[in-house]
Structure 1
Amino acid sequence: MKKFGFFMFLVVIMIAFPKVADASSYNAKIYLDGQQINLSSGVKVENNNGTVMVPIRVVSENLGFNVGWNKATKTVTVQDGSQNVTMVVGNRLADINGQSVQMTNAPVLRGGTTLVPIRFVSEQMGLQVRWDNAQKAVYLTSTYGEFNPDETTGSNAATVDGLVFDENRLLVAVTGNAKANVSKLSNPNRIVIDMVNAKFSDTFGSNNNFDEINKNGQFSVSGYPDVQAVRYSLYDTNPMTVRIVIDLNHAQNYAVSGLEDGSGLLVVDLNATSDPVPSPGTSGKKLVVIDAGHGAHDPGTLGATKKKEKDFNLAMALKVEKLLAKEKNIEVVMTRTTDTFLELKERAKIANSLKADVFISIHANSGPSTASGTETYYYHESDKALANALHKEIVKAVGLKDRGVRFGNFHVIRETTMPGSLLEIGFLSNKNDESKLFDSATQDRVAEAIVRGIKTYLKVD
């Protein structure tokens, strides 16, 4: 893995540090593949209202990247090979290889030292990261299995990384080996999932309503008449067990899939009847996963008139879903159907666990106000045929400049195991593009184009 990966993940999961009201410093230790990184004298990690910041010199001195600083514009540029990250002091929008990404906190200056937030790029890389609160240490692993930080803490429990309830299904993202015991109880009606040999990950609380001290939380569920709420807690420590409870409005059947196939995703499906329901993809149809980028607290890029990318992505994805649902030879699964947030790794896990045939992530682009046009990205060379099939149709449908099919190091298409493509339909930063992208008739044409591209690639009628 490129050194850039270390930086991208380093700029992230340390958000698991305890939150404080004001900026404060940590004498935190950082380990890379089991070896402690020796920070220069006086270099400290800062917790700024819950967002951890690291001096930019750590990036150049300890991880060996090319770092540029423009004093006039207060711009930091980090480069390694073809990868390029640009951040501006006081600006929460960063640029990663031409794509605008919103950070939790903007970079800051502290006595002539530039500090950058660590959270916003974590999902871009595949490093394992663990924060040990007792030792005040961050453990980075460049490849899975080379170093297990749990060995230093005496625990080998798996981690529950995230929860989401959508399409009447509970999805639980898990890293490591855990056993799920699922049962249905009455008075009151509920489904109980005990994740044995599991605990909450150090970053679980950053994206879930979670009490870090008491290790519990819950969220209400709306739009699904079967369910009231989902509750979760660290139920036991011997063995380490996470309990998740789905509070029901009435008795409800369910089907369970995942984990045993090594996907790292447990699915509790409440759409089940009294008979077992085959998992998606077992009907002989081609399975397509549609991913609407961003969501909830992550709006994506903001348009020329402040329209949000997450809204465009979801609107497009729902139109594609509606069309694919009519196809007799295709099944469709959505990563989200409402304004919810999923980590990038959770989106990839959904597709991988279902053994999908195709994964497509829908986005809108950002750049200078003069930038315009459609781009389609692939990661694996074997995915290029899918990208070409989609791009050809989308360019004709949207009527914007053809900016070509390109290689892109995006997490969701890098970590999915099936052919995948990330679509940048147009530039929200361009008023003309933005107007087209939020035009319902244009969206209908693009949705039809995406479906045609999928069918062409899959060779289905």
Structure 2
Amino acid sequence: MKKFAFTLLLLLFVLVLPEHGHAAAGNKIYLDGQELTAGQDAPVENVKNSVMVPLRMIAENLGYKVDWDQKSKTVTIEQQGKTIKLIVDQTAASVDDKTVILTAAPVARAGTTLVPIRFVSEQFGLTVTWDNAQKTVNIITPETGGNNTGSEGSSGDGGSTVVVPPAESTSGLTMVNGISFSQNRLTIAMDGSSAPNITKMTGPDRIVVDLPNATFSDVFGSGQELDPNLNGKLAVTDYPDVSGVRYSLYSTSPYTVRFVIDLNTSKNYSLEVSGDASKLVVVDLNAQSTEDTTTQPGNNGRKLVVLDAGHGAKDSGAVGVTGKYEKNFNLAVVLKAAELLKQENKIDVVLTRSDDTFLELKDRAGMANKLKADLFISVHANSSGSSAASGTETYYQREASKELAKVMHKYLVKATGLSDRGVRYGNFHVIRETTMPAVLLEVGYLSNKGDESLLFSETLQNNVAASMVSGIKEYLGM
């Protein structure tokens, strides 16, 4: 019966490969040595050397349960206890709650979702290989039942996957969740007890950070670049000391995650580790020496402001009426505000995240507390079950933050031009657990079509960033 199901799956490929489909031209597919030829004008494409076929059609013809979430662009397939989730235009998929990093993201075409043929085949227990010389995909049905994932990790047609090591093989390991580089500081977010080993090297100049007994977590690949060999890099701009940051699962015996800060010139550093179970590792290149931290932000007589872009990576935040993600709005505004604050000679600014990274709420608050910041400002966009909800709100949790909320809100309302929904009390973690005046800005409602359009305009984002600087300066008496 299972053999029949496998054969049916591949016969369906016959139905979906167009005879003269230019997108898939040059790629031949063989089932147990027999070529599958085209038969029907259905959407099949070659995306970045990855043969893409309509997953929804295949799943429905096999009798699988398929659910589609229009807001999050997520398709969920369930069959015999297996659950697969894929998101359009995102390389992070989920198989039974285990993150799988695709080398080619699913794409939406004509009301269906296209996915790499290798991914589809291997999830149904088939062995898939690629002959680069002949440009052929070879699919082999297993001799017995059970799951055979075959040549997982080969580059093939571009549809291969990187599977984050399953829980049973990583028990007790520290999980690296994300990284960012801002203000000449590398920040690594992780869960676990790994103690970083750091080495300054020459020829070329670089700083190497090893995290022993660690691996990348399921969420890492959804926020950062991660190739099939668990290598990646983080582009660094606007910091002349650093040309880039590389990272990899350096070893599996023992497990070690390595980060390399490539330097343009020799630099000293300071190392800070904060938190308990969830930790932040900060390699600060602003230090004069490995022992001297007098140039830490806020230690030079300047006021330190921590800006927090809400959500990130796997946590998209609110999803707008046209599918836009709150996390992207939050980050865009914070980056613009940070650039403006850098021009102020009496203010230092630190970002909790400078890219699409996931951080726990306690890590965001913990970073500000560890740095002994003067102010903490978290940027968000709101959502409501009613599409009519619109306007701007500012939240505080502690009485010591109320005056800051009033000042920030005054400028924010003017910047958005949206209705004034007032300064409000809110028991949010990041403004409750911080020890300095802290506010959370809800700039507008993504559930409102008009608000959403405005929030994702360059003009509005620039205005909000400028209003944040004005509010900070007034509150600090500058």
- Structure-1-length-normalised TM-score: 0.57
Query: What does residue 465 of structure 2 align with?
Result: 447
TM-score relative to the length of structure 2 = 0.56
The structural deviation recorded for 1:237 is 5.4
State the match for 1:372 in structure 2. Answer: 390
Paired with 1:274 and 1:115, the residues of 2 have a C-alpha distance of 50
Percent identical: 46
Judging changes above 3 Å, is the alpha-carbon distance between structure 1 residues 234 and 352 closer, same or farther for their aligned structure 2 residues?
farther
Structure 2 residue aligned with 1:134, among 160, 168, 171? 168
Matched with 2:281 is: 266
The correspondence of residues 412-431 of structure 1 with structure 2, limited to 5 A, is 412-431=430-449
Give runs of aligned pairs for residues 80-159 of structure 1, distance below 5 A.
90-91=68-69, 93=71, 102=72, 105=74, 133-134=167-168, 155=172, 158-159=174-175
Distance 1:444 1:200 in 2: 35
1:290 to 301, 307, 322: 307
Q: Distance in 1 between matches of 2:445 and 2:388?
A: 9
Which consecutive residues of structure 2, in runs of 5 or more, have no partner in the other structure? 1-54, 56-66, 87-92, 98-164
**Structure 1 residues 231 and 380, CA, compared in 2 at 3 Å: closer, same or farther?**
same
The 1:255/1:165 distance shift into structure 2, 3 A limit, reads same
The match for 1:185 among 184, 196, 201 is 201
Q: How does 1:228-377 map to 2 (within 5 A)?
A: 228-233=244-249, 235=251, 241-248=256-263, 250-259=264-273, 264-271=279-286, 276=292, 278-294=295-311, 300-303=317-320, 309-337=326-354, 339-345=355-361, 346-367=363-384, 368-377=386-395
Give the structure 2 partner of residue 57 of structure 1.
none
Q: Which residue type is aligned with residue 266 of structure 1?
A: V
Query: Aligned match of 2:181 in 152, 162, 165?
Result: 165
Contact 2:223 2:314 in 1 (8 A): no
Which amino acid is the alignment partner of residue 245 of structure 1? V
How far did residue 190 of structure 1 move?
Answer: 2.7
CA distance in 2, matches of 1:296, 1:198: 20
Contact 1:258/1:264 (<8 A) preserved: no
Structure with greater contact order relative to length (CA < 8 Å, sep ≥ 6) = 1
How far has the Cα of 1:288 moved from its partner? 0.7
- Whether contact under 8 Å (1:254, 1:268) holds in the other structure is no
1:220–1:199 Cα change, 3 Å: closer
Residue 358 of structure 1: how far off its partner (Å) = 1.8
Determine which structure has more spread, i.e. the larger CA radius of gyration. 2
Instruction: Provide the rounded CA distance (Å) in 2 between the counterparts of 1:319 and 1:206.
Output: 24
Q: Please state whether the residue corresponding to 2:69 is helix, strand or coil.
A: coil
Partners of 1:132 and 1:417 in 2: CA distance: 38
Give 1:329 deviation, angstroms.
3.4
Tell me the amino acid that sits aligned with residue 395 of structure 2.
Answer: Y
Partner amino acid, structure 2, of 1:91 = D
SS at match of 1:447: helix
Indicate whether 1:217 and 2:231 are aligned: yes
- In structure 1, the residue matched to 2:410 is 392
Letter in 1 for 2:467: A
Cα–Cα, structure 1 residues 286 and 253, in superposed 2: closer, same or farther, change >3 Å? same
Shift of 1:416: 4.0
Query: CA offsets per residue over residues 165-207 of structure 1, 9 Å max, x none?
Result: 3444321123344432211223344321123465555654554
- Are 1:397 and 1:446, in contact at CA under 8 Å, matched by a contact in 2? yes
Q: CA deviation at 1:274?
A: 6.8
Amino acid at match of 2:69: N
Structure 1: give runs of 5+ residues left out of the alignment: 1-48, 50-88, 94-101, 123-130, 136-149
What amino acid maps onto 2:444 in structure 1? G
User: Using the alignment, how far apart are the partners of 2:68 and 2:433 within structure 1?
Assistant: 32
Q: 1:221-248: CA deviations, max 9, x gaps? A: 253563244123254756x654322344
Q: CA deviation at 1:259?
A: 1.0
- The residue type paired with residue 308 of structure 2 is D
- The aligned residue for residue 19 of structure 1 is none
Asked whether the equivalents of residues 198 and 209 of structure 2 are also in contact (C-alpha less than 8 Å), the reply is: yes
Letter of the 1:264 partner, please give it. K
SS state at 2:441 partner: strand
Q: Distance in 1 between matches of 2:388 and 2:300?
A: 47
Contact between 2:309 and 2:331, CA under 8 Å: does it hold in 1?
yes
2:155 alignment counterpart: none
- Contact 1:261–1:353 at 8 Å: present in 2 too? no
Q: 1:203 & 1:302 partners in 2: Cα distance?
A: 19
Amino acid at match of 2:260: V
- Secondary structure of 1:253's match? coil
**Per-residue CA distance 1:87-130 (angstroms, 9 max, x = gap):** xx74364xxxxxxxx5x84678889xx999999xx9xxxxxxxx
CA shift digits 1:301-325 (9 cap, x unpaired): 4555665544543343233223333
Q: Are 2:183 and 2:350, in contact at CA under 8 Å, matched by a contact in 1?
A: no
SS class of match (2:199): strand
Does the CA contact (< 8 Å) of 1:162 and 1:173 recur in 2? yes
Partner of 1:15: none
CA contact (8 A) 1:179 1:196 kept: yes
**Cα pair distance change 1:440/1:195, threshold 3 Å:** closer
> Counterpart of 1:317 in 2: which secondary structure?
helix
Contact 2:225 2:233 in 1 (8 A): yes
